Amino acid sequence: MSDIFKRDFTLVIPAFNEFPVLPDLVTELRATFSKYHLSGEIIFVDDGSTDHTAELALELTADWDAVKVLRHRSNLGKTESILTAFKESTRRNMIIFDADLQHSPEEIPRFLVELQRGSDIVTGKKVGDYQKPFVSKIYNWLSKRIFKVPVSDLNSMKAFKTEILSGIHLRHDWHRFFVVLAYHKGYSVSEISIELFPRIAGESKYSSPLRIIPAIMDMMSVWFLIIFSRKPLILFGFTGIILILSGLLVAALAFYFRFALDTGFRPLLYLVMLLETVGFLMLGFGLIAEMIAQVREEFHQSRQE
């Protein structure tokens, strides 16, 4: 690994009530940075902890100039923690590392090597005796089939070029879709196997089976965004045309009943009015969405310039 990659990275560590783990975490980080001669910056983001996580992090790293400790006043979530660190980052590469020590800091150099080989994003594939939660298995299975991303685990340790975050809008809890959104914007993705360990202390924040419900809803939102955000008229326009044509077909049927069979059927008239009205509304929504998409693209282009 080149000296540039050894220093040109930010290690982001979101932490929420991780007080019991911090001493071991900092000890292992110091050992890894010393062993591999790493000199990147480390940003702890205390996400509204109630157990003095931030205070302990400051105490344990008081003599380590490369470390920053940032705080949220309340628990905002992992996505917001990553974005907070992004605003403070001064390096060209970023690594997301959970504070629970379920991944070893020894993996950090492997991710940097993969970035040096040319990958825009490197994500870890968890292996080992420790089994992933049921929710994570379902999520990864669905994601791989819906989004066609060439990785098997989206909820693991990852490294990427920091600039990628500038062009991707991450909503609440969308950190898990970061790889998906970046891949569909043309960034290259690679995967390496990393060992997953059981927690040494504390409790997992992501073990509830009920998380699958909002995860699937978010997945639908991301799918819609990827497919239709640039050309929303494809969805609204196609739907509108189908409804309008259906209305014309029902109108023809109503005329046939009225003038050929001399049988009036008023509900058909109401159905025609409904189909035509909704159809033209959908076309109108599509045109408005097209204008919004155009403004959005121009805004992002101006930000990048």
- Rounded to an integer, the average pLDDT of 9-17 is 95
Distant-in-sequence, close-in-space partners of 134: CB < 8 Å, separation ≥ 6: 209
What distance separates the 2 farthest-apart alpha carbons in the chain? 93
Decide which of 104 and 254 is more confident.
104
Dihedral sign computed on CA atoms, order 54, 30, 89, 151: negative
Mapped onto helix, strand or coil, the DSSP state of residue 1 is coil
- Rounded to an integer, the average pLDDT of 95-112 is 94
Range of 3-12, 128-137, 250-259 with top mean pLDDT:
3-12
pLDDT surpasses 90 at 254: no
Query: pLDDT of 142-154, one tens digit each?
Result: 888 888 888 888 8
Nearest C-alpha neighbor of 64 from the set 97, 42, 89, 32: 42
How far apart CA 237 and CA 239 sit, in angstroms, is: 5
Least confident of 84-88, 192-196, 253-257, 289-293: 289-293
Least confident of 42-56, 68-82, 110-124, 261-275: 261-275
CATH class of the region 3-228: alpha beta
The DSSP symbol for 160 reads E
- The model's pTM is 0.78
Query: pLDDT of 244-253, one tens digit each?
Result: 999 999 888 8
- Listed by start position, the domains of the chain span 3-228, 232-304
Nearest C-alpha neighbor of 206 from the set 164, 234, 176, 170: 176
Q: What are the CB-based long-range contacts (under 8 Å, 24+) for 53-59?
A: 53/15, 53/16, 53/17, 53/18, 53/19, 53/22, 56/19, 56/22, 56/23, 57/15, 57/22, 57/26
Q: Which residue has the tokens 């009015």?
A: 273
- Rounded to an integer, the average pLDDT of 162-166 is 92
